[in-house]
Amino acid sequence: MLKELKPAFVMLLGLTALTGVAYPLLVTGIAQGVFPDAANGSLIEQNGKVVGSALIGQPFSDPKYFWGRPSATGPVPPRMGDAGVVSAEALTTPLPYNAAASSGSNQGPLNPALEDAVKARIAALKAADPGQTAPIPVDLVTASASGLDPHISPAAAAWQAPRIARMRGLSIDSVRGLVEKHTEGRQFGVLGETRVNVLQLNLALGAEQR
């Protein structure tokens, strides 16, 4: 019996050391050495503090900031409090850009709820800038498939530029210049579309006025 079990235990320990210790350490070491920024979550720092990730969007509602693409993610499953009670607000309040619930709304184009949501987003954008009469880019009123998209199209950023310039007392040319500076091209020149990272652009706006 022991004679048959010994090779099995040796193999178990060997594979555990190889695949559970050596391989993860090797991969982690290569990742940290070759592309440490991506391996650590593409974090964005300001004044020595982490303010977000370049890979996950953040909600902005103040009209002085560029607004990102809407997020369709739902709330995180709430934890029980000390009294074992979960509030109704905790159960129903949506948390945009919630990575724990990454998904789209799964609402089809004929869904009345989607139509109402788009109308509400259009109304909010027009209320924030009544003088802007140009057509609203579609990515400002529709959510992405992941619900975490940190980018908007250059057209969506340009549409908001007049509002930002007016609210911050900046020239429209300076705001457009920031948008152009933070516009990222297609990966390898062929993959994806040109895009603007909303968090990085808003941080640049703050630095512009210092």
Q: Which domain holds residue 120?
A: 36-208
Report the C-alpha gap between 29 and 113 in whole angstroms.
48
Bigger pLDDT: 80 or 127? 127
* Backbone dihedral angles phi then psi of residue 127, each to the nearest 5 degrees: -65, -35
Q: Is the predicted pLDDT of residue 91 greater than 50, yes or no?
A: no
Instruction: Identify the bridge partners of residue 50 per DSSP, sorted by sequence position.
Output: 45
CA distance 65 to 59: 10
Q: What is the DSSP letter of 83?
A: T
**1 part of a folded domain:** no
Q: pTM for this structure?
A: 0.75
Question: Is 60 exceeded by the pLDDT of residue 197?
Answer: yes
Q: Is residue 27 part of a domain?
A: no
| For residues 138-142, average pLDDT | 93
Cα gap 55→159, rounded to integer Å: 23
Looking at the chain, the whole-number percentage of residues with pLDDT higher than 70 is: 88
- Residues 117, 200, 144: CA angle, nearest 5 degrees: 30
Q: Is 58 inside any structural domain?
A: yes
Cβ neighbours for 29, distance < 8 A, ≥ 6 positions apart: none
Q: Count Cβ neighbours within 10 Å for each residue of 84-102 and write b for 16 or more, e otherwise.
A: eeeeeeeeeeeebbbeebb
Decide if 115 is inside a domain.
yes
Alpha-carbon dihedral 7, 8, 11, 14, rounded to 10 degrees: -100
Largest CA distance in the chain: 85
Residue 43 lies in a domain: yes
Mean pLDDT estimate for the chain:
83
Domain count, the chain: 1
Query: Using CA atoms, how far apart are residues 150 and 116, in angstroms rounded to an integer?
Result: 23
Q: Which helix (H) or strand (E) holds 197?
A: strand 195-197
d(CA 137, CA 67): 12
121 lies in some domain: yes
Domain annotation covers residue 17? no
The CA distance from 210 to 204, in Å, is 10
* Minimum mean pLDDT range among 82-96, 116-130, 168-182: 82-96
At 126, the pLDDT band (50, 70, 90 cuts) reads very high
Question: What band does 99 get if pLDDT is binned at 50, 70 and 90?
Answer: confident
The residue that leads in pLDDT, 146 or 104, is 146
- 28: in domain: no
Work out the pLDDT band at 93, boundaries 50, 70, 90. Answer: low
